[in-house]
């Protein structure tokens, strides 16, 4: 593995940019290639088989064409469905995935009640089931699948984002800091941090919103160190963009969220 090679990052669309933001902040010397699989999105409402096929094809493509030295699966749904198979197919490649921040939420909540927003695919996965079971007794988790929300974020459709957030926050239950209220909200899909302002306005200022960008960036840094794979470019890291569908929304999202 060549330390000067780029790191691959993929998601079904723009969501993984919320992870990329944290990766670049922590690893500013590294080059990244971001792949948005927007011709085959959303992942969260499709069968596992589709998400697995796409994840394997993207990893293959990023290795073959870009010679990546590590891969970040910047998508909760793809991590849940495909990370074990990706690791089996590429045993020599450091692969870092994301999972909904249930552990940090359990450690943080004072009321013992936590809301979790994620895709239908993530919530139905065996991987998520095991995570939930490992925290049994530590907090109560209200799980809410959010059909259509990742797509609304993808399309930057503000009206739809607000309507869906409103519907799903109501369906999750009561937020606040009183006994029995949920005082912590897990954003279990990488698209949802881009709806954080709307979600915050609905749950109130005392509720903590947790995403996974920062822990993933720390984990990637550790994996690079273990493999002696840190880049030694005498320049700031570069970014390259690829998509399986149209690139206009991707470019606009990157400009907006990464201040490019």
For the annotated catalytic residues, the residue numbers are 75, 189
Distance of alpha carbon 114 from alpha carbon 196, whole angstroms: 16
| Shorter beta-carbon distance to ligand DGL: residue 144 or 190 | 190
Q: Binding segment for ligand DGL among 35-43, 54-62, 222-230, 231-239 (CB under 6 A)?
A: 35-43
Distance of alpha carbon 12 from alpha carbon 78, whole angstroms: 8
Residues 93-122 touching ligand DGL, rule: CB under 6 A, are 119, 122
Question: Sign of the C-alpha dihedral, residues 18, 246, 117, 201?
Answer: positive
Residue 15 as a binder of ligand DGL (CB under 6 A): the answer is yes
> In degrees, to the nearest 5, what angle opens at C-alpha 157 toward C-alphas 155 and 160?
125
Residue 189 as a binder of ligand DGL (CB under 6 A): the answer is yes
Q: Binding segment for ligand DGL among 73-81, 104-112, 137-145, 248-256 (CB under 6 A)?
A: 73-81
Cβ atoms within 10 Å of 58's Cβ, excluding its own:
24
Residue 72 as a binder of ligand DGL (CB under 6 A): the answer is no
Residue 11 as a binder of ligand DGL (CB under 6 A): the answer is yes
| Shorter beta-carbon distance to ligand DGL: residue 27 or 78 | 78
Helix/strand number for the chain, H first, E second: 11, 9
At residue 81, what are phi and psi to the nearest 5 degrees? -85, -35
The residue ranges that bind ligand DGL (CB under 6 A) are: 11-12, 15, 41-44, 75-77, 119, 122, 150, 189-191
């Amino acid at each position: 593995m060549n330390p000067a090679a780029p790191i691959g990052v993929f998601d079904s669309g723009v969501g993984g940019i919320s992870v990329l933001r944290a990766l670049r902040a922590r690893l500013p010397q590294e080059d990244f290639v971001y792949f948005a699989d927007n011709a085959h999105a959303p992942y969260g409402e499709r069968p596992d088989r589709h998400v697995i096929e796409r994840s394997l094809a993207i990893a293959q493509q990023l290795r073959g064409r870009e010679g990546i030295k590590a891969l970040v699966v910047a998508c909760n749904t793809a991590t849940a469905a495909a990370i074990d198979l990706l690791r089996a197919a590429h045993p020599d490649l450091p692969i870092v995935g994301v999972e909904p921040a249930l552990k940090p939420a359990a450690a943080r909540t004072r009321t013992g009640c936590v809301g979790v927003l994620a895709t239908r695919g993530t919530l139905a996965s065996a991987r998520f089931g095991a995570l939930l079971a490992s925290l049994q007794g530590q907090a109560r988790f209200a799980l809410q699948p959010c059909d259509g929300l990742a797509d609304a974020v993808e399309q930057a459709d503000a009206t739809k984002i607000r309507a869906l957030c409103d519907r799903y926050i109501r369906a999750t239950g009561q937020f606040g800091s009183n006994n029995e209220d949920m005082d912590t909200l897990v954003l279990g899909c990488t698209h949802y941090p881009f709806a954080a302002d709307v979600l915050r306005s609905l749950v109130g200022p005392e509720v903590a919103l947790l995403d996974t960008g920062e822990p993933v960036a720390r984990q990637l840094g550790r994996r690079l160190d273990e493999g002696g794979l840190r880049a030694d470019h005498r320049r700031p890291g570069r970014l390259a963009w690829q998509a399986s569908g149209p690139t206009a929304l991707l470019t606009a999202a990157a400009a907006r969220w990464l201040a490019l």
